[in-house]
């Protein structure tokens, strides 16, 4: 696994959050059209993947506590 600096991690988190918000908007637009149910499910799955990735990256920013 590649080693990222805290600045790189923060930048990646910001990118993922932007993509997450964009997916929210696309999902809201698709909700108005029930014919696009498969696309909506696909976008929701991607949104969950992004959220998981954001959480993992945020955990990387938390320093380990000394024992």
Tell me the per-residue pLDDT of 28-49, one tens digit each, with 9 for 90 and over.
988 887 787 889 899 999 999 9
Residue found by looking up tokens 């790189």 in the block: 8
CB 56 within 8 A of CB 32: no
CA 63 centroid distance within chain: 21
Higher-pLDDT residue of 62 and 64 is 62
Say if residue 62's pLDDT is above 80: yes
Of 67, 60, 48, the closest CA to residue 8 belongs to 60
CA distances from 55 to 17, 35, 44 (A): 11, 32, 17
Confidence of residue 65 (pLDDT cuts 50, 70, 90): confident
Average pLDDT of the segment spanning 2-20: 93
User: What is the percent of the chain with per-residue pLDDT over 70, rounded to a whole number?
Assistant: 96
pTM: 0.82
Measured CA to CA, the distance from residue 19 to residue 47 in angstroms comes to 8
């Amino acid at each position: 696994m590649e080693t990222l600096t805290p600045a790189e991690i923060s930048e990646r988190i910001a990118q993922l959050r932007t993509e997450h918000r964009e997916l929210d908007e696309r999902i809201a637009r698709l909700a108005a059209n029930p014919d696009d149910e498969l696309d909506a499910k696909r976008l929701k799955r991607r949104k969950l993947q992004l959220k998981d990735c954001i959480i993992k990256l945020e955990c990387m920013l938390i320093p380990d506590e000394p024992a």
